[in-house]
Structure 1
Amino acid sequence: MADHDLTQTIIPYLDRHLAFPLLAHLEQTGTFPADEVRQAQYELAKGTNMVDYAVSLWEQLQPDQEPPAEFAEKRAKALETNERLQQEAQAVLDVIENPEVAQALRQDKVQNLQYLKDHFNLTLEQITALYTFGQFQYTYGNYSGAADYLYHFRVLSTDADLNMSAHWGKLASDTLSGKWDVALEELNALREAIDARSASEPLSQLQSRSWLLHWALFVYFNHPQGRVLLLETFLAPAYLNTIQTACPWILRYTVFAAIVSRKPSTASSSRVRHALREIVKVVQMEEYQYSDPLTDFVKELYVEFDFEGAQRALKEAEAVVENDFFLNEFKDEFLENARYLISEAYCRIHQKIDIADLSERLNLSRDEGEKWIVNLIRETRMGADAKIDLEKNVIIISRPPQPIYQSVIEKTRGLAFRTSAIGAAIGRQAQPAPAPPPAAQEVEAQ
């Protein structure tokens, strides 16, 4: 499964703190040797202020050696810095958390800064202490505290660059704190800020959208409505173009979301219901750049119409989903919906279906397949057209022939419009060319 693992591909697009959960998952699955994973965790941890965590990783890697003295020095320096920054930030919080001050603040940031300067002698540099302390709290592993300080800073600051940085920091903090509703709001706000950037910086905007696509995976695969929201975001033209240009491996998660959202009961919009059709086209286009068992599954099913190939791809996809950090909790839901898609496509092109054969194509035993097919017929629109013959162990699908008048309607639909369009075109050709204006006539005469 290491061939299909995307951890090493995704981590360069993440903050180092967001990479820790992915590495912890690798350690649990055993996809890579445990010592290699711990070494990677240590390399990330030693660049933060989480000194105790870095020391514990060092002791696991080097059980017979004492931790270097630099860790003790770094711990002492971090505690000193934390105390100093907290005092600077608290001086600002004492002012803005005053109920009278909170009522006096308005939507206009410039007006608010002038008010704070006139009445409390607070400058923009002092307010920036909120950002500095929030950033330090994040490196310390206090994500909830970091989110609070970065929020207060962004409410007051007029510095566009620091505000954008605070956006990213708060999104990461809310994500690592597991506050998924708040993280979704922050994700949407950050997306709006990125999309509002000037088109004169296309490379910077492309990079920001690439990062957003990867950070969004944490939110969309933990929020209850996340899979549907993922499709609405990732299939937007700007972000679909970003996937095709910079990070085609995100197609794995787009395909997955389309599959688990495919049943009519979970599809909330026409865009989501038709998402799979759009994604299949993109999978075809980007096959030269990226493919895996999930993209192969939809290609075999909807492009090649190879049910045996789809069966093999689904079996491989099951293992990929089980080992993927973002997808593993949805394995059962994925398999159920993937089997639904196979059954839907298979029944659409056959009139008599052997239950044992269909069960095999669904990677189910005969008994499991029978139960699955019965439930499928009961839950879908096939119920009126499909009957099970238990003696022959087959499903018979009787599709009523299309009424003749319906065929005529389909063939003549739009005929009146096309006739009027042809008539208008003939009329325009029959009319003489309009005479040039007087000024043009004078020029021609000269």
Structure 2
Amino acid sequence: MSSSVELSVEAKELIKQYDLTSKIIPFLDRHLMYPLLDFYSNKGIYDQKVIQQMIYDLFRDVNMADFTESMWKKLNEGNQVPEEFATKKTEILETIIKYEEETAKIREVLKNPELVTELKQDKKANLELLDSKYGITSDMLKKLYEFGQYQYNCGNYSQAHDLLYHFRALSNDAQLCTSATWGIVASEIFSEEWSNALAEIQRLRESIDSRSSTDPLTQLYHRSWIIHWYLFPFFNTEKGKEAMCDLFFTSSYMSTIQASCPWILRYLSVAIISSNERGNNSNNSNYQKRLRDLVRVIGVEQYEYQDPITEFVRALYIDYDFEQAHAKLAEAEIILKNDFFLIASAESFLQAARYMISEVYCRIHQRIDIGQLFSSLNLSKDEGEKWIANQTKYSKNEAKIDESEGTVTLNRPIASVYQQVIEKTKGLSFRSNQLLTQAINKPESM
């Protein structure tokens, strides 16, 4: 996607400084790396030829001959196309025909409606049924997996999905079933079947989390991959951000983020903040808890990771530095609009962030300049007065507007000592857990 506004030199340098692509792609399959690289190919931030060369190098060894040929032509305009591409296409077609012949019997059996009624939960019994009644052996079933894998490497994601799905439904090979599920997830992502992708990653997550025998380092590695693959459906489904918050704040996944990939705090911050775009969630207890937990973990991890988004949160909720918060929000806007996963959430985040600044400002100051408040919120006079009415309604504050002086005076109810103590102690469990996790994991990561 190309940017409609020409970026300044300073903006480009800021984007390069905080570009997370190099941190994210080690946790992705090469096919999923492509959308991230392609995102930057026409933005003018990096040299287009360099990006195209990276994409070509990424796919030259897989079976996407048409695609790699098109990339070669872009890199070598006017030159004669090497014969190797035509040879490769012939080899690919021959291999597909071979796999079609080898799997013809099992694919035909899978079309039989009677088979569906005969299959049970017990995969071992199903394999015996396939062998005794239909002559389908384990080796023939494995060919189905190999064909699905080959189709995936050809970029035929729909065909790959179906083959891998059928293999997984019948096979009792746990390792190959897990591998097939990764392929199914990637295929769902490329097909933009976001709800299905979310469900399949959930299946992977449950499989990984249930392996009590897996050593902690391997489990950390697998969870890190899960976290990064989740970013695709999380930002493309209606309740994806909600699901992201639920998962990433669990003890095991927050520990993984802190130990392995603290840059994920950028995406968690956007998920939480953008959910309050119109300020209507400000007094929602679940939203408030998530925001408090986010502020705490950003404070703990500030020496490990920071960017304009996390620094905005820190400036506003830890330092109460409104000037710094505004400055970081301006930088955050540039980052958000040039982040593959966040570009669609940019406006909702910015709107919610402006409300957050004003809410915190209103908590600290009793007498507020209306013009300054409306300007910071980017609201008209009518919209601003409606916003004040909503804030007083949800917060139970009393507000008096003095139009002659252009000010609003807020009278806040004083919380009881009991309420103050409860508020102070709400996050102690979370904070203690994160400090303990940090103490355990930091030496291991050195």
TM over 0.5: yes
Per the alignment, residue 401 of structure 2 pairs with: 388
- Cα distance change, pair 39–257 in 1 and its aligned pair in 2 (3 A): same
1:59-138 → structure 2 map (5 Å cutoff): 59-138=73-152
Structure 1 position 73, deviation (Å):
1.5
How far does the alpha carbon of each residue in 1:383-428 deviate from its partner, in whole angstroms, 9 at most, with x for none? Answer: 85123222211121122567xxx66x77999xxxxxxxxxxxxxxx
Q: Is the 8 A contact 1:38 1:57 kept in 2?
A: yes
Q: Does the residue aligned with 2:237 lie in a helix, a strand or coil?
A: coil
After superposing the two structures, state which structure 1 stretch, 43-52 or 110-119, moved more. 43-52
Per the alignment, residue 288 of structure 1 pairs with: 303
- Cα distance change, pair 80–412 in 1 and its aligned pair in 2 (3 A): closer
- Point out where structure 2 has 5 or more consecutive residues left out of the alignment: 1-14, 423-446
Structure 1 position 162, deviation (Å):
0.3
Per the alignment, residue 336 of structure 2 pairs with: 321
Is 2:11 aligned against 1:11? no
After superposing the two structures, state which structure 1 stretch, 322-331 or 352-361, moved more. 352-361
Q: Is the 8 A contact 1:280 1:299 kept in 2?
A: yes
Distance 2:285 2:133 in 1: 54
Is 2:172 aligned against 1:158? yes
Q: Does the residue aligned with 1:323 lie in a helix, a strand or coil?
A: coil
> Aligned partner of 1:182: which letter?
N
Structure 1 position 183, deviation (Å):
0.8
Distance 2:352 2:421 in 1: 38
How far does the alpha carbon of each residue in 1:227-266 deviate from its partner, in whole angstroms, 9 at most, with x for none? Answer: 1111111111111111111111111101111111246756
- Cα distance change, pair 391–269 in 1 and its aligned pair in 2 (3 A): closer
Distance 1:172 1:410 in 2: 48
How far does the alpha carbon of each residue in 1:34-93 deviate from its partner, in whole angstroms, 9 at most, with x for none? Answer: 111111111112132111111111111110322222222211111111111122223212
RMSD: 2.2
Q: Which of the residues 223, 240, 260 maps onto 2:254?
A: 240
Distance 2:383 2:348 in 1: 14
Q: Is the 8 A contact 2:272 2:290 kept in 1?
A: yes
1:249-264 → structure 2 map (5 Å cutoff): 249-262=263-276
1:4-403 → structure 2 map (5 Å cutoff): 4-262=18-276, 270-359=285-374, 361-362=376-377, 364=378, 368=379, 370=381, 373-380=384-391, 381=394, 385-400=398-413
Higher relative contact order (CA 8 A, sep 6+): 2
How far does the alpha carbon of each residue in 1:150-202 deviate from its partner, in whole angstroms, 9 at most, with x for none? Answer: 11100111111101101111001001100111111101111101101124422
Q: Is the 8 A contact 1:356 1:369 kept in 2?
A: no
Structure 1 position 371, deviation (Å):
5.1
Q: Is the 8 A contact 1:228 1:267 kept in 2?
A: no
After superposing the two structures, state which structure 1 stretch, 52-61 or 200-209, moved more. 200-209
> Aligned partner of 1:84: which letter?
K
After superposing the two structures, state which structure 1 stretch, 154-163 or 254-263, moved more. 254-263
Q: Is the 8 A contact 1:130 1:153 kept in 2?
A: yes
> Aligned partner of 1:318: which letter?
E
Q: Is the 8 A contact 1:387 1:397 kept in 2?
A: yes
TM-score by length of 1: 0.86
Distance 1:220 1:139 in 2: 25
- Cα distance change, pair 266–19 in 1 and its aligned pair in 2 (3 A): farther
How many residues align structurally? 405
Structure 1 position 96, deviation (Å):
2.5
Q: Is the 8 A contact 2:281 2:287 kept in 1?
A: no
> Aligned partner of 2:170: which letter?
L
After superposing the two structures, state which structure 1 stretch, 26-35 or 322-331, moved more. 26-35
After superposing the two structures, state which structure 1 stretch, 91-100 or 306-315, moved more. 91-100
- Cα distance change, pair 401–325 in 1 and its aligned pair in 2 (3 A): closer
> Aligned partner of 2:264: which letter?
I
Distance 2:246 2:414 in 1: 37
> Aligned partner of 1:43: which letter?
D
Structure 1 position 213, deviation (Å):
0.7
Distance 1:203 1:267 in 2: 39
Identity %: 42
Q: Is the 8 A contact 1:230 1:254 kept in 2?
A: yes
- Point out where structure 1 has 5 or more consecutive residues left out of the alignment: 414-446
> Aligned partner of 1:156: which letter?
L
- Cα distance change, pair 268–164 in 1 and its aligned pair in 2 (3 A): farther
Q: Does the residue aligned with 2:400 lie in a helix, a strand or coil?
A: strand
Distance 2:386 2:421 in 1: 40
Look at both structures and tell me which one has the larger radius of gyration over its CA atoms: 1
How far does the alpha carbon of each residue in 1:345-397 deviate from its partner, in whole angstroms, 9 at most, with x for none? Answer: 111111101133335655x4xxx364553232233325851232222111211
Q: Does the residue aligned with 1:353 lie in a helix, a strand or coil?
A: strand
Per the alignment, residue 434 of structure 2 pairs with: none
After superposing the two structures, state which structure 1 stretch, 261-270 or 89-98, moved more. 261-270
Q: Does the residue aligned with 1:29 lie in a helix, a strand or coil?
A: coil
Q: Is the 8 A contact 2:142 2:167 kept in 1?
A: yes
Structure 1 position 275, deviation (Å):
1.0
Structure 1 position 277, deviation (Å):
0.9
